[in-house]
Amino acid sequence: MLEQLLIFTRGGLILWTCKELGNALRGSPIDTLIRSCLLEERSGAASYNYDVPGAAYTLKWTFHNELGLVFVAVYQRILHLLYVDELLAMVKHEFSEIYDPKKTVYNDFDAIFQQLRKEAEARAEDIKKSKQVGKPVNGNLGKKQGQVQKGGTDGGNKKKGDGESGNDGDKVKGNAKENGHFNGSIENGVVNCKEDGNSAAGAFDVNKLQKLRAKGGKKVDTVVNKGSKAEPTKKTKKNRVWDDSPSKPKLDFTNSVSENGNENENVAGVAAEQGESMMDKEEIVSSDSETEEDEEPGKDSKVEAKKKGWFSSMFQSIAGKANLERADLEPALKALKDRLMTKNVAEEIAEKLCESVTASLEGKKLGSFTRISSTVQEAMEEALVRILTPRRSIDILRDVHAAKEQGKPYVVVFVGVNGVGKSTNLAKVAYWLLQHKINVMMAACDTFRSGAVEQLRTHARRLQIPIFEKGYEKDPAIVAKEAIQEANRNGSDVVLVDTAGRMQDNEPLMRALSKLIYVNSPDLVLFVGEALVGNDAVDQLSKFNQKLGDLSPSPNPRLIDGILLTKFDTIDDKVGAALSMVYISGAPVMFVGCGQSYTDLKKLNVKSIVKTLLK
């Protein structure tokens, strides 16, 4: 049964709701749909699932882009309602005919909706009955096929009781796999073969096939045995003995800093050597790419002119197209999808973005002197800016001062896969915070990788900041908890927690990370990811979030709050990983690592990224 049907404008004004349904929805499915799907450019999806204690809803929607209307239907997920899509299309058509922008109340639409709903339900019932009538016919066909298969293979299955499996379907499947070629498909043990022209030549004999294979195997074995006799014995290589040489001194290029040195003096020394952090510098975006962007629509228009002719394309550009259809948008969107993928955007994300842009443009009237390609480009640019712009404040300095007023340290946990640069970028964040006169403490909670504690100790010595460590093979959750307690005692404002690198499929390490976050409740969970990854960015972030949610004992588990992108200086214009990560997780990019020195940390420039993606 339908729970609710709602019609509202893109501005959020509710025009009509079904009073007959009037069921009180648990939670706020409509608000969640708008916030996490429609505003996040996920409107190209077919449906949206909303879970709340005691209920599970499925939401479906459609747009009237010319009028700026949204139609949403809500129903219980357990009920597979077949008529919802058709009902939404009918409601959209009927409501658009009586819609008036100056009118806000549509009580007369109730009777129309009841009639549309009855028609849609009746059609769904007819479809269901026709399917039920068709089932016995399919069953008889299946039986006949099974008899034919059995008859075809009986010749080779006479000795069925001699240790062979009793399932004919499994045997055929095994033979088909061993032969390497199979003309058909296997579903639920039934072989659906594609018939060839020479299929009437007779069934193959399995016994003959097995004998031939056995003979072939014996021949191969004998050849191998003969060859093994002729092979000479291999001489093992002796280890090379080097001349005794004096042991070389350790190569340690780190600056020796006195342990009793003043912190401010050391920071000033490092700052004089390294300079000011790039986090506090504003990046200027040049407009060089505008000419290139103007050239692209020109190319598309040439292709269109060849297809349609000069006069028709000229007339269309002057008069404007009545309504944009999916077929009109496909060529421009395909070119845009290919361009996004060349910029290292994951294929799945590029496809969803194009679907979302199609949903927002379909049915819209094309203005005079405007090309379809430029319209699609503008819609995609708006969508990318909306996705990459953070939905909440990412001002860490403000949050640090707020935590300081409450008398507790601000805790940041760095998580991510192996080798992405968590420890190095943790030191960069520490250096930036020190420049803003904030007391920082490091916590060495990577008790798994050899050399991890020593690496963090070196950064702490260079920056002259305290580090809390307990060595290796300790529980990282307990180490982090003790580090926070120590920060409370010595008056540190921020605790930066370094964790071990782990692959998203490593369940023991993911369980340990989930425990660390649950026990210590950090203020910020930063996912450190490489800007070099393409499709793997989707897998990494989605599985990290999934594991953190599944393995946490809390009913409301903490997920990833922000992203730190590393190695951004090595990718040239392949900036698509930023878009893939933000789209899949909904978390903003808070820092961008762009080098190996402490100053090479900056903010993400959304306009620059969008321009690079569409260039």
Of the ranges 135-149, 316-330, 380-394, the best mean pLDDT one = 380-394
Residues in the chain: 615
What is the model's pLDDT at position 445? 93
What is the model's pLDDT at position 271? 59
What is the sign, positive or negative, of the torsion defined by CA atoms of 411, 414, 415, 418?
negative
Residue 601 in any domain: the answer is: yes
Closest by Cα among 51, 88, 63, 52 to 73: 88
Point out the least confidently predicted range of 66-80, 279-293, 590-604: 279-293
Question: Over the chain, what is the mean pLDDT?
Answer: 75
Residue 119 in any domain: the answer is: yes
| pLDDT exceeds cutoff 60 at 458 | yes
- Encode pLDDT of 25-55 as tens digits: 888 888 888 887 877 767 767 788 888 888 8
Q: Are residues 381 and 411 in the same domain?
A: no
- Residue 464 neighbours by CB under 8 Å, 6+ apart: 257, 261, 263, 266, 267
Which structure tokens are listed for 532? 């070099």
What is the model's pLDDT at position 554? 84
Residue 95 in any domain: the answer is: yes
Of the ranges 46-50, 142-146, 206-210, 512-516, the best mean pLDDT one = 512-516
Which structure tokens are listed for 425? 């970028």
pTM over 0.85: no
| pLDDT exceeds cutoff 80 at 246 | no
- Work out the percent of the chain whose per-residue pLDDT is above 90: 24
Q: In what order do the strands lie in the sheet with 467-468?
A: 467-468, 440-444, 494-498, 410-415, 524-530, 562-566, 589-593, 601-602
- CA–CA gap between residue 496 and residue 512 (Å, rounded): 18
What is the separation, in whole angstroms, between the first and last Cα of the chain? 48
User: Do the Cβ atoms of 379 and 360 come closer than 8 Å?
Assistant: yes
Q: Are residues 376 and 520 in the same domain?
A: no
Q: Are residues 367 and 491 in the same domain?
A: no
CATH number, domain of 109, equals 3.30.450.60
CATH number, domain of 372, equals 1.20.120
CATH number, domain of 401, equals 3.40.50.300
Greater confidence, 317 or 19? 19
* Kind and range of the H or E run holding 84: helix 84-98
Category of 100 on φ-ψ map: left (φ > 0), alpha (ψ -120 to 50) or beta: beta
User: Do the Cβ atoms of 331 and 303 come closer than 8 Å?
Assistant: yes
Point out the least confidently predicted range of 4-18, 279-293, 385-399: 279-293
Greater confidence, 547 or 1? 547
User: Do the Cβ atoms of 578 and 584 come closer than 8 Å?
Assistant: no
- Encode pLDDT of 574-607 as tens digits: 888 889 889 888 899 999 999 889 999 999 889 9
Per DSSP, 436 falls in state T
Question: Which position has the token pair 């800007």?
Answer: 531
| pLDDT exceeds cutoff 50 at 236 | yes
Which structure tokens are listed for 556? 């409301």
Q: Domain ends where: 388, 413, 442?
A: 388
Phi, psi of 529 (to 5 degrees): -130, 150
Residue 585 in any domain: the answer is: yes
- Encode pLDDT of 464-519 as tens digits: 999 999 988 889 999 999 999 999 999 999 999 999 988 888 888 899 999 999 99
* Domain coverage including residue 11: 2-125
Of the ranges 261-275, 363-377, 470-484, the best mean pLDDT one = 470-484
Dihedral over alpha carbons 593, 595, 598, 600 (to 10 degrees): -60
What is the model's pLDDT at position 83? 85
Residue 174 in any domain: the answer is: no
Q: Are residues 382 and 476 in the same domain?
A: no
Q: Are residues 74 and 104 in the same domain?
A: yes
What is the model's pLDDT at position 243? 62
Which structure tokens are listed for 109? 């639409």
Any idea what the Cα angle at residue 549 is, between residues 606 and 578, rounded to 5°? 15
Strand runs labelled E in 87-246: 184-187, 190-193
What is the model's pLDDT at position 220? 40
Q: Are residues 348 and 436 in the same domain?
A: no
Q: Domain ends where: 125, 152, 183?
A: 125
User: Do the Cβ atoms of 608 and 285 come closer than 8 Å?
Assistant: yes
Q: Which DSSP string corresponds to 285-354?
A: PP-THHHHHHHHHHHHHHHHHHHH-HHHHHHHHHH--SS--HHHHHHHHHHHHHHHHHTT--HHHHHHHH
Helix orientation angle between 109-153 and 84-98, rounded to the nearest 10 degrees: 150
Q: Which of the four pLDDT bands, split at 50, 70 and 90, describes residue 323?
A: confident
- CA–CA gap between residue 73 and residue 90 (Å, rounded): 13
Tally of domains within the chain? 3
Which structure tokens are listed for 236? 């093992």
Q: Domain ends where: 366, 388, 410?
A: 388
- Residue 556 neighbours by CB under 8 Å, 6+ apart: none
- CA–CA gap between residue 529 and residue 510 (Å, rounded): 16
Which structure tokens are listed for 302? 């040439």
Indicate the SS3 state at residue 444: strand
| pLDDT exceeds cutoff 60 at 214 | no
Q: Are residues 359 and 419 in the same domain?
A: no
- Residue 475 neighbours by CB under 8 Å, 6+ apart: 447, 512
| pLDDT exceeds cutoff 60 at 230 | no
Q: Which DSSP string corresponds to 532-598?
A: T-STHHHHHHHHHHHHHHHS-SSSS-----EEEEE-GGGSTT--HHHHHHHHHH---EEEEE-SSST
* Kind and range of the H or E run holding 71: strand 69-76
Q: Are residues 499 and 458 in the same domain?
A: yes
Per DSSP, 283 falls in state P
Point out the least confidently predicted range of 80-89, 96-105, 294-303: 294-303
Which structure tokens are listed for 188? 């639920």
Indicate the SS3 state at residue 412: strand
Residue 154 in any domain: the answer is: no
Greater confidence, 539 or 319? 539
- CA–CA gap between residue 21 and residue 75 (Å, rounded): 11
Q: Are residues 573 and 462 in the same domain?
A: yes
| pLDDT exceeds cutoff 50 at 257 | no
Q: Are residues 371 and 477 in the same domain?
A: no
Helix orientation angle between 576-585 and 372-388, rounded to the nearest 10 degrees: 60
* Residue 89 exposure: Cα atoms within 13 Å on the Cβ side: 6
Q: Are residues 404 and 346 in the same domain?
A: no
- Encode pLDDT of 564-582 as tens digits: 999 988 888 888 888 988 9
Residue 117: alpha-carbon gap to chain centroid: 37
Q: Which of the four pLDDT bands, split at 50, 70 and 90, describes residue 308?
A: very low
Residue 517 in any domain: the answer is: yes
- CA–CA gap between residue 457 and residue 472 (Å, rounded): 14
Residue 150 in any domain: the answer is: no
What is the model's pLDDT at position 413? 95
Q: Are residues 373 and 506 in the same domain?
A: no
